[in-house]
Structure 1
Amino acid sequence: MSLTPGIARKGEGIDGAHWNILGQVYTPKQITEECFSWHATFPIETFVPPHIHPTQDEYILLLDGTLDLVLGGKSLQASTGDLVSMPRGIPHGIFNNSGRDVRCFFWVTPTGKLVDLFRKIHNMARPDEVTALAPDYEVEFLPPVKAAAQL
């Protein structure tokens, strides 16, 4: 996988892909061995449960809206224009409690097996199925954080 020169157009994903991941829409923008990036839309009240990437650093650039985060045991909030840095091995969860859809841009480095996980869990309806598969793809989900919904 090498970097493809060109422009990743608004609303377009690689090979026309748009993945439904736990209620969010992920649109892959670029995939190399070193980096994987995607646009994400978080509808109202959707979230990514607390988890760890033991082999990847992850970033979120907030394009429009506000997200609540649990990051390394702290409750934080990111707003439009903010960059969230989530180092490998640090537990993090992402929650849209804002009352409106949120748009953001994610990337991880290195890519690892995350693309394969997203392809596998696309349209998977049961979160327990997602969390059961994730360790095979270098993502470890943690027990639910009850207080996270109250950020």
Structure 2
Amino acid sequence: MSEMIPGITASPEALNGVVWSILGQTYTLKQVSEHSMAWHARFPAGTFVPPHTHPTQDEFIYVLTGQYTIWLEGTETVANPGDLVRLPKGIPHGIFNKSEAAATSIFWVAPTRSLETLFGRIHNVSDPQEVVRIAAAHEVYFLPPPGG
């Protein structure tokens, strides 16, 4: 991985044509370098990323459309269009679209670490347990379900 390449990734485009399908969500790569990675995300109604931690990355979500319910250290709050969600490294968090409409956003992490590789490995993987197993090898650790 190298330094960030200057330029514009147009609205409908993906950097280097990279689009991932991850458990019903669509992630369109917009920027990647050693220091950060950004992607456009589309969360259909009812989809989510369960509670997890990134011990080596800060994560951010800028909400474009729809509404996200953010689980942060055991507390739920709602993020609406124009809101910026800050998820510091090491802090457990989950991202849920509990509404009846799709939600879109720009996500980014800093530094990138192996998140791009993780997304490539879990692209089109339909078994959530397999996603959890693969994620642990890339510094993303999912919390056990409540009572599990």
Q: How much does 1:145 deviate?
A: 4.7
Amino acid at match of 2:18: A
User: Which residue of structure 2 aligns with residue 103 of structure 1?
Assistant: 104
Match of 1:67 in 2: 68
Q: What is the Cα deviation at residue 11 of structure 1?
A: 1.7
Question: Where in structure 2 are the equivalents of 1:26-41 lying within 5 Å?
Answer: 26-41=27-42
Match of 1:149 in 2: none
**2:5 alignment partner AA:** T
Q: How far did 1:144 drift? A: 2.3
- Is 1:140 matched with 2:141? yes
Residue aligning to 2:53: 52
TM-score by length of 1: 0.94
Aligned partners of 1:50 and 1:145 also within 8 Å = no
**Is residue 63–residue 104 contact of structure 1 (8 Å, CA) maintained in 2?**
yes
CA contact (8 A) 1:30 1:37 kept: yes
Deviations 1:68-118 (A, max 9, x none): 011111111100000000000000001101110001000000001110000
CA RMSD of aligned residues (A): 1.0
SS at match of 2:90: coil
Tell me the matched-pair count.
Answer: 146
Distance 1:41 1:88 in 2: 23
Answer 1 or 2: which has greater helix percent.
Answer: 1
Unmatched 5+ stretches in structure 2? none
Residue number in structure 1 paired with 2:121: 120
Identity of aligned residues (%): 50
Give the distance between the partners of 2:105 and 2:70, measured in 1 at CA: 14
Residue equivalent to 2:87: 86
One-letter identity of the residue aligned with 1:11: P
Q: Which shows bigger deviation, 114-123 or 10-19?
A: 10-19
Alignment gaps of 5+ in structure 1? 147-151
Return the letter of the residue paired with 1:68.
Answer: T
Using the size of structure 2 for normalisation, the TM-score is 0.96
Query: Compared with structure 1, are the counterparts of its residues 61 and 96 closer, same or farther at alpha carbon in structure 2 (3 Å cutoff)?
Result: same
Q: Deviations over 1:101-139 (max 9, x none)?
A: 001000000001110000000000010000011111010
| CA distance in structure 1 between the partners assigned to 2:81 and 2:94 by the alignment | 18
